[in-house]
Amino acid sequence: MRALLLEADWSPRGDYKPTYKEEETHKTPMGSRVWRNPKLKLVEKSKPKPKGKQLLIKVKASGICGSDVHMYEFDNEGYMLYPGLTKLPVVIGHEFSGVVEEVGGEVSMFKPGDPVTAEEMWWCGECLYCRAGMPNHCENLEEMGFSVDGSHADYILVPEKYVWNISPILDYAKSEDKMYVLGATVEPVGVSYNAMFVRAGGFQPGSYVVVYGAGPIGLAAIALAKAAGASLTVVFDLVENRLKVAREMGVDYAFNIKKLYEEGVRPSDKVLELTDGYGADMQVEAAGNPSATLPEMERSLAVGGKIAWIGRADKTAPIFIERFQTRRAQIYGSQGHSGHMIFYNVIRLMASGKLDTSKMVTARFPLDRYEEAFNLLIKEKGHAKIQFKL
């Protein structure tokens, strides 16, 4: 079978000292501190055989995540840009849908022919944090496409407990192809769902919701905000084509930050203008640029305002604590999408027609054109989501 493999050199930065376990396993929570000269290549691998509670899934659609791009990109010293958990070499990809081809002897919930997707966070279910209901912070966490082989391949092997049936989406999608397109977006939508409604506790219908970053996670946040009853949704980004997609997905206001600054207007000025000085009840950081976004979010907080932080960045940013105290506001750090019926609820929203993410998929490529697909995301930056069609 074909698989898109990422390789890199283990070469820790001078200011980063890996633990003994990291050195022994080459599995690190800080990829950008150790992996150098990343390279992607399409390889032939043996088709795996499912055992026990494993499912062999024929991949139908697999989305390229910003994390995939950051694993492929590197800084001026050659270090990978992605700052998270990694163990290389690995087949990348984690936003996917497919059909069950074969099951292990202990599988009880699925059968060949079932259309499915799966969680990217492979939690153990036994450590302290899993038992406390926090599987996204599992002490023994593996991540599909980062530390175990992922979905940019013809087939993927996934343990049963991470797999979800997407057949309910077919009633709305009307075609299997669209069902698989939507099914491959359940994971990124789940990331936004977790941040907004699990970690930050959601918002009351009628609230004002502002999103920084109109990539797939930000677009998912907009769609969820609309579905949950926000009376005003606003998004900021630097790329006009992404803002166009946001408008197509129903956002009320979409602003190009660069153009605003050229006019002498800050994003927070627009938020305060649109809310008559009230501010935003919930703000979602999906840009991964804290030094630029945090000051704007601080300045436009409603009393009791919440910031759901999703964007990843290996950097620090100043924070004006007094503002959070006087506005009774809070930042909620968030990662992952597991637990709390997140996948189940996202699938139900898609099946109902209240959440259609197909408009965020702006291009589809065969797997053997992976270089073209990645370069399109890196150089043009106008695409929201590119998927491989397998």
Mean pLDDT, residues 183-196: 98
Write down the pLDDT at residue 259.
Answer: 97
Catalytic (active site) residue 268: no
Contacts of 154 (CB under 8 A, 6+ apart): 1, 2, 3, 47, 58, 59, 367, 390
Predicted confidence band of residue 330 (pLDDT cuts 50, 70, 90): very high
Count of domains forming the chain: 2
**What's the rounded Cα separation, in Å, for the pair 84 and 33?**
9
Write down the pLDDT at residue 194.
Answer: 98
Write down the pLDDT at residue 302.
Answer: 98
Mean pLDDT, residues 260-273: 98
Write down the pLDDT at residue 66.
Answer: 87
Whether residue 195 contacts residue 309, with contact meaning beta carbons closer than 8 Å, is answered with yes
- Nearest-Å Rg of the Cα atoms of the chain is 20
Q: What is the CATH number of the domain that holds 82?
A: 3.90.180.10
The yes-or-no verdict on residue 379 having pLDDT over 90 is no
Regarding beta strands 253-256 and 232-237, do their DSSP bridges make them parallel or antiparallel, or are they unpaired?
parallel
Domain's final residue, options 288, 305, 333 = 333
- 315 lies in the same domain as 366: no
In a domain, 125, yes or no: yes
Whether residue 131 contacts residue 82, with contact meaning beta carbons closer than 8 Å, is answered with no
- 37 lies in the same domain as 170: yes
**What's the rounded Cα separation, in Å, for the pair 368 and 40?**
12
- 246 lies in the same domain as 279: yes
Neighbours of 386 (CB within 10 A): 21
The yes-or-no verdict on residue 287 having pLDDT over 90 is yes
Residue-wise over 342-355: b if at least 16 C-beta within 10 A, else e? bbeebbebbbeeeb
Predicted confidence band of residue 317 (pLDDT cuts 50, 70, 90): confident
**Segments forming the whole domain that contains residue 280:** 201-333
105-112, Cβ contacts within 8 angstroms, sequence gap of 24 or more:
105/51, 105/52, 106/52, 106/53, 107/50, 107/53, 107/54, 107/55, 107/160, 108/160, 109/160, 109/163, 110/55, 110/160, 110/163, 110/165
- 343 lies in the same domain as 209: no
Write down the pLDDT at residue 13.
Answer: 96
Predicted confidence band of residue 384 (pLDDT cuts 50, 70, 90): confident
Q: Which of 67, 97, 300, 338 is catalytic?
A: 67
Write down the pLDDT at residue 313.
Answer: 81
Predicted confidence band of residue 316 (pLDDT cuts 50, 70, 90): confident
Catalytic (active site) residue 340: no
The yes-or-no verdict on residue 381 having pLDDT over 90 is no
- 363 lies in the same domain as 217: no
- 176 lies in the same domain as 270: no
Q: Which residues pair with 212 in a beta bridge?
A: 236, 285
- 46 lies in the same domain as 165: yes
- 37 lies in the same domain as 88: yes
**Cis bond upstream, residue 112 (ω within 30):** no
Domain's final residue, options 300, 333, 366 = 333
- 222 lies in the same domain as 329: yes
Compute the mean pLDDT over every residue in the chain, rounded to the nearest whole number.
96
Q: Would you put residue 230 in left (φ > 0), alpha (ψ -120 to 50) or beta?
A: beta
**What's the rounded Cα separation, in Å, for the pair 107 and 370?**
33
Domain's final residue, options 333, 359, 379 = 333
In a domain, 174, yes or no: yes
Predicted confidence band of residue 314 (pLDDT cuts 50, 70, 90): confident
Regarding beta strands 115-118 and 121-122, do their DSSP bridges make them parallel or antiparallel, or are they unpaired?
unpaired
Residue 136 carries which side chain, given as an amino acid letter? N
- 21 lies in the same domain as 164: yes
Whether residue 225 contacts residue 208, with contact meaning beta carbons closer than 8 Å, is answered with no
Q: Which of 32, 46, 62, 70 is catalytic?
A: 70
- 140 lies in the same domain as 35: yes
Whether residue 220 contacts residue 244, with contact meaning beta carbons closer than 8 Å, is answered with no
Neighbours of 119 (CB within 10 A): 26
Q: Would you put residue 357 in left (φ > 0), alpha (ψ -120 to 50) or beta?
A: alpha
Could you write out the DSSP letters of every residue in 306-353? Answer: EEEE----SS-----HHHHHHTT-EEEE-----STTHHHHHHHHHHHT
Identify the burial level of 49 via C-beta atoms within 10 angstroms of its C-beta, where 0-12 means exposed, 13-18 middle and 19 or more buried. exposed
Whether residue 243 contacts residue 383, with contact meaning beta carbons closer than 8 Å, is answered with no
In a domain, 194, yes or no: no
